[in-house]
Amino acid sequence: MARQARLDFPGTLQHVTARGIGRSLIFRDDKDRMSFVNRLRVLLKETETRCYAWSLLPGRFHLLLEIGATPLSALMRRLMTSYAGLFNNRHRRSGHLFQNRYRSTLCEKGRYFLELVRYIHLQPLRGGVVKSLSELENYPWTGHDALMKDSNDWQERDEVLLLFSSGKEQARQMYADFLKEAVNQGTLEVVRDGYGDGDPSDGRILGSGDFVVKVLKEAGEFREGDVKKVSLQTLCQRISSCFNVAEGELRSPLKKKPVVDAKSIFSYLAIKKMGYSGVEVGDYLNVRGYSAMRLSQKGPEILQANGLALSTFL
């Protein structure tokens, strides 16, 4: 399957992440982390890119960037290529450091801005690098430290804190409470309020249906009549009913033909027609992302063989 083109426009908010090849470490110690941060700081200034949140973990990084005149692709190519060269030279290794290309999600700023800041800054806690919020306070490799302590001069802080209060100390306390709320409730993911069944969608975009349509129109990719997105659970229920397969079986390792056929159609509709990523569908089916992609390729053939139309599941 051909990769979808990136949605890379000036002024957009982008959540960017990349991980080590084969899930290997990309940061072995603080010298590596400082090397990456120093390179990032220089490139942000050169490209007039704004960074609102960031987090470095041993095997991956997260950035929340507002793109300036320089395309995101150019910034990330320079950042990842130069850092990989420094890392390989320092650790006397060769070959690729990062797993494929970086992943980016274009985000609706007003709707998800603070959710993304929180999600990214809680990554060390979510990933087990620190064990508590108090430990996170002393972890210097996220933008959380800068918001609380003004520990760097290149991260955008005021725009985040002003969303809580005009007084800096009060804003910091409210921001800290905002993180604590997610930890106490066990909600360390981005909360997609109002993002429900029937909304137009695209796996490259995080936002409301109207926002998705707006972005796709700007990219020249919007087509009237595209299949509407439903939740994976709803799609699972519809396909399970049609094939007389239990929902639990659809998410199990069973190899019975009706189950495999149902999985293939589920993957095809979710990935090719509704914009879910292979990883998202794989996680739901309890398989690898590339396995979900392979299943999706068989979907049209199975639909035709069974005399089924897309409208059967919509």
- Condensed to tens digits (0 to 9), the pLDDT of residues 287-297 reads 988 889 989 98
Q: How confident is the model at residue 172 (pLDDT cuts 50, 70, 90)?
A: very high
| Chosen domain end from 163, 185, 207 | 185
Q: Is residue 167 part of a domain?
A: yes
Count CB neighbours of 83 within 10 A. 22
- The yes-or-no verdict on residue 276 having pLDDT over 80 is yes
Q: Which of residues 185, 217, 237 is at a domain's end?
A: 185
Do 101 and 156 lie in one domain? The reply is yes
Q: What is the mean pLDDT of residues 261-275?
A: 88
Report whether pLDDT(271) > 60: yes
pLDDT given for residue 284 in this prediction: 93
What is the tally of structural domains in the chain?
2
Does residue 98 share a domain with residue 164?
A: yes
Is 294 inside a domain boundary? yes
Kindly tell me if the per-residue pLDDT of 197 is higher than 50: no
Does residue 46 surpass a pLDDT of 80? yes
Domain boundary pick from 170, 185, 200 = 185
**152 and 266, same domain (yes or no):** no
**Cross-strand pairs, 199:** 229
State pLDDT tens for residues 92-128. 999 999 987 899 999 988 878 999 999 999 999 999 9
Q: What is the pLDDT of residues 71-96, one digit of tens each?
A: 999 999 999 999 999 999 999 999 99
Q: For residue 162, what is the domain's CATH number?
A: 3.30.70.1290
Residue 290 lies in a domain: yes
The whole domain housing 257 covers 227-313
Contact 206, 192 (CB under 8 A): yes
Q: What is the pLDDT of residue 189?
A: 66
State what percent of residues in the chain have pLDDT above 90.
53
245 shares its domain with 176: no
| pLDDT band per the 50, 70, 90 thresholds, residue 191 | low
In a domain, 193, yes or no: no
**Model confidence at 195, in pLDDT bands (50, 70, 90)?**
very low
204 within a domain of the structure (yes/no): no
Beta strands 103-107; 50-57: pairing state: unpaired
Joined together, the tokens standing for residue 205 give 């975009």
Q: What's the whole-number average pLDDT of the chain?
A: 87
Q: Is residue 245 part of a domain?
A: yes
Q: Alpha-carbon distance 282 to 83, whole Å?
A: 31
Q: What is the DSSP letter of 49?
A: -
pLDDT given at position 312: 66
Q: In this model, does residue 194 exceed pLDDT 70?
A: no
For the cut 70, the answer to whether the pLDDT of residue 3 exceeds it is: no
Q: In which band, very low, low, confident or very high, does the pLDDT at 286 lie, cut at 50, 70 and 90?
A: very high
Q: In terms of Cα–Cα distance, which of 83, 81, 68, 79 is closest to 35?
A: 83
What is the token pair recorded at 185? 């409730």
Residue 6 lies in a domain: no
Say if CB 34 and CB 22 are below 8 A apart. Answer: no
Q: What is the pLDDT of residue 215?
A: 82
In degrees rounded to 5, what are phi and psi of residue 252?
-110, 170
Confidence of residue 311 (pLDDT cuts 50, 70, 90): low
Q: Are residues 177 and 309 in the same domain?
A: no
Is 167 in the same domain as 45?
yes
Residues 65, 180 within the same domain: yes
Reported confidence tier of residue 61, pLDDT bands at 50, 70, 90:
very high
Taking the whole predicted model, whether its pTM rises above 0.85 is answered as: no
Please report, for the domain that includes residue 281, its CATH number: 1.10.1750.10
For residues 149 and 48, membership in a common domain is answered with yes
Specify the range with the lowest mean pLDDT, choosing from 89-98, 189-198, 215-224: 189-198
Whether the CB-CB separation of 89 and 28 falls below 8 Å is answered with no
Would you give the DSSP letter of residue 53?
E
Q: Assess whether pLDDT exceeds 50 at residue 30.
A: yes
Torsion of CA 72, 73, 78, 80, to 10 degrees: 100
Co-location of 90 and 157 in the same domain: yes
Q: Answer with the residue of higher pLDDT: 8 or 37.
A: 37
Give the DSSP H or E segment for 237: helix 232-243
Q: How far apart are CA 260 and CA 275, in angstroms?
A: 21
Cα distances from 268 to residues 196, 229, 265, 293, 312, in angstroms, run 20, 13, 5, 8, 14
Closest alpha carbon to 101 in 123, 84, 115:
84
* Separation between Cα atoms, residue 297 and residue 204, nearest integer Å: 20
Asked if residue 273 belongs to a domain, the reply is: yes
The pLDDT score that the predictor gives to residue 91 is 97
Tens digits of residue pLDDT in 228-240:
677 898 889 888 8
Region at 247 (left for phi over 0; alpha for psi -120 to 50; beta for the rest): alpha
C-alpha distances in Å from residue 298, one per residue of 235, 308, 309, 311? 17, 14, 15, 18
pLDDT value at residue 226: 55
- Secondary structure element (H or E) that encloses residue 59, with its range: none
